[in-house]
Amino acid sequence: MDSSRVAVIFYSLGTLDLLGAFESKTTAAERESWRKWLWEQQTHGIYGTGFKPGPYMTPEGQSSESSEYDAPHLIMTYTALLSLAILRDDFSQLDRAGILAFLRACQNDDGSFSALPRGGESDLRTAYCAFVISSLLDDWSGMNVDSAITYIRSCISYEGGFGQAPFGEALGGTTYCALAALCLTPSTPSSPRESRLTPAERTRTIRWLSQNQTPSGGFRGRTNKAADACYCFWCGAALNILGAGDLVDRNALATFMSQCQFKFGGIAKAPSERADPYHTYLSLAALALLPPSDADSSWDLPKLDPLWNASEATASWARAHIPAH
Amino acid sequence: MSAIFQDDDDDSVKLYSEDPAWADVVPIPQYQGVDALAPINYTEEYQDATNYFRGIVKTGEMSPRVLQLTEHIIRMNPAHYSAWQYRYRTLLALQSPLEDELRLMDRFAIDYLKTYQVWHHRRLLLVALHSVDAAAAELRFIVRALQDDAKNYHTWSYRQWLLAHFNDEARLWAGERAWTEELLEQDVRNNSAWHHRFFVVWGSGVRKGDEDREEVRKRELGFAKDKIALAPNNPSAWNYLRGVLDHTKTPYSTLSTFVQLYTASSAPAADVFDLDNPPPSAGAELPSVNALEFLADIHEQEGQTEQAVQVCVYVVLRYTFTKHFVAQIWKSLANEHDTMRKKYWEFRIREAMQSR
């Protein structure tokens, strides 16, 4: 997990956040040291400022200066910023201008974003992270918005979902990324927000998403695949973004989630699999967004911001504390 | 260069710190700052190798032993993207034969099928090789890789990228459509194969021999209809059918005759066989909800709101029945039925009523 450590941390902290367990399960001293550790992953260099996954490529005796092989990573930057908001950081150490420069270094000519300034994967996941970061900073000068939107639209598949990249098969996770990104960006003269999905495309996407809720109650990520807890969030939240969250059979969804719960705690991708932080967090996020109607209060979870994928309290904290310019 | 760390009989760990051949490299431990969040319990072997890797990166050495070291680290942690990056640049600096690297990657790809970096590295190698021959060999390799995991997303993305990047009609594209047919004969529900077919026929330009688009449209509709006849409740085939109609702007109503064979509760008498409208296979579960949805869409496209609503109400009633009676009596049957989408159909009714 060296190369995705901050992401794993985000899913773990996010789980505590959604369970409202921060005050009871962690101490102020722990939270303080975690914030410190996360800020140590903010690194500056010729490609601007961002967060790296951890210190795994950082030589002893050196910390904040990034080298080419110890560079900031787009997905880690998104998950680090949200983790800091969960930890109620004051963001006084945030290098706004550096992060915007980093986003510009990651954007490619076709509008897509690479995970790293010089390479790495470029697909709708990295695009989504760039959009959320811009939205968190409330500053869109770190990207060419029009070309980014053109790239996102080029990933629409005939089935109604979005592939991971152009030509790709429709996939639940990247459909969420695309819809959230299109929704996060303010209108531009050449791309008013309401023009970004035609009515026919919207209908087709809703149809495909709802087709993915399987008889098990869980969602699958692709046509004819098996249900997986993480797609309950990706597809359910995508429907929610399209204003069609009420098409989900929520009680069946909750039944599936409860079957995915691992006997020693946590939630797995499917019944009788092993739990992990990623599936645990996303399952709780799905339940927070699409709670069952017939459950007792033990199922109550805080409200979720469906576009940033964080509790509303955490999202408000970020809005209030990330310094403006 | 790849064999040295693969001796399974030898359980002792090979440490660079004990190897005279590495004595000239100064190992650099990982930065230890404030108390670690989510600390990682590294093995001695991994810690030792990455200490030497940080040492190498610092001096900028690019030599054959760097290839050994990065391979060793990647085998322990295939997601170590810095090791991959450094390895790639070392290969170029040494002008190493990239074909050999690809053969090594053949084994990696199978072992670490779900790791992004394995496939990304292949892409970089293919770009550097700049050879259609190499790309054609890659297509053959992918066929083998898909035998282990027919729906692996990375593998499929890589194939689609190869085809688009090298874009060679005779050497690369020529066999693609026939190959999807083979895959769908093995598993008619393989959505990745359906998607690939759409990409080849419609999404990537006009293939040689496919210049007559009207013929292509007929052929593809016929193909999808034949596959629907085999498995009338297969959403992959219905989605493909819809995709072809949408892409070619063909009204759904042109398939009314076909669809009605699948919205009936039982198969029609098999005395007349119409090639354009193949009937459901024997024993098929009817009516097909996919067909009912298609019928509702026909009515909607034709402005026949009353009929569209009727179809939707019928499906909702069926759901209710299935859920409350069939599910209790024949649990196994309930799994065959799509019982989840009652709310979707109610939504369709609301939408249709609004447009009235």
Average pLDDT of the residues in B265-270? 74
The reported pLDDT for the residue numbered B8 is: 47
Q: Is A33 within a domain?
A: no
- Three-class SS of residue A48? strand
What ipTM describes this predicted complex?
A: 0.95
Examine the pLDDT at B351 and tell me if it is beyond 80.
yes
The residue of chain B with its CA nearest to that of A116 is B81
Average pLDDT of the residues in B80-101? 95
Could you report the per-residue pLDDT of B182-236, keeping only the tens digit for each?
999 999 999 999 999 999 999 999 999 999 999 999 999 999 999 999 999 999 9
Q: Which of A169, A200, A231 is the last residue of a domain?
A: A200
Cβ-nearest to B86 among A69, A159, A225? A69
Q: What domain count does chain A have?
A: 2
Q: Which domain holds residue A242?
A: 212-294
Q: Which residue has the tokens 């593809």?
A: B220
Residues A227 and A176 in one domain: no
Examine the pLDDT at A48 and tell me if it is beyond 80.
yes
Q: Which of A138, A169, A200 is the last residue of a domain?
A: A200
Average pLDDT of the residues in A7-31? 94
Give the dihedral of Cα atoms A100, A104, A110, A113; nearest 10 deg.
Answer: -60
Contacts of B29 in chain A (CB under 8 A): 59-60
Q: Is A40 within a domain?
A: no
Q: Is A18 within a domain?
A: no
Cβ-nearest to A169 among B58, B85, B195? B195
Examine the pLDDT at A63 and tell me if it is beyond 80.
no
Q: Which of A157, A178, A200 is the last residue of a domain?
A: A200
Q: How confident is the model at residue B177 (pLDDT cuts 50, 70, 90)?
A: very high
Could you report the per-residue pLDDT of A263-286, keeping only the tens digit for each?
889 999 999 999 999 999 999 999
Average pLDDT of the residues in B101-112? 89
Whole-angstrom distance, CA of residue A74 vs CA of residue A120: 10
The reported pLDDT for the residue numbered A20 is: 93
Q: How confident is the model at residue B316 (pLDDT cuts 50, 70, 90)?
A: confident
Q: Does the beta-carbon distance from A158 to B343 stay under 8 Å?
A: no
Examine the pLDDT at A32 and tell me if it is beyond 50.
yes
- Three-class SS of residue A218? coil
For A210, the token pair is 């709802």
Contacts of A58 in chain B (CB under 8 A): 30-31
Question: If contacts are CB pairs under 8 Å, which of residues 117-176 in chain A contact chain B?
Answer: 119-121, 157-160, 164-165, 167-171
Q: How confident is the model at residue A69 (pLDDT cuts 50, 70, 90)?
A: confident
For A265, the token pair is 């705690």
CB A31 within 8 A of CB A77: no
Could you report the per-residue pLDDT of B31-63, keeping only the tens digit for each?
877 667 787 888 999 999 999 999 999 999 999
Residues A217 and A277 in one domain: yes
The reported pLDDT for the residue numbered A99 is: 98
Examine the pLDDT at A1 and tell me if it is beyond 90.
no
Q: Which residue has the tokens 């109609």?
A: B245
φ, ψ of residue B322 to 5 degrees: the values are -60, -45
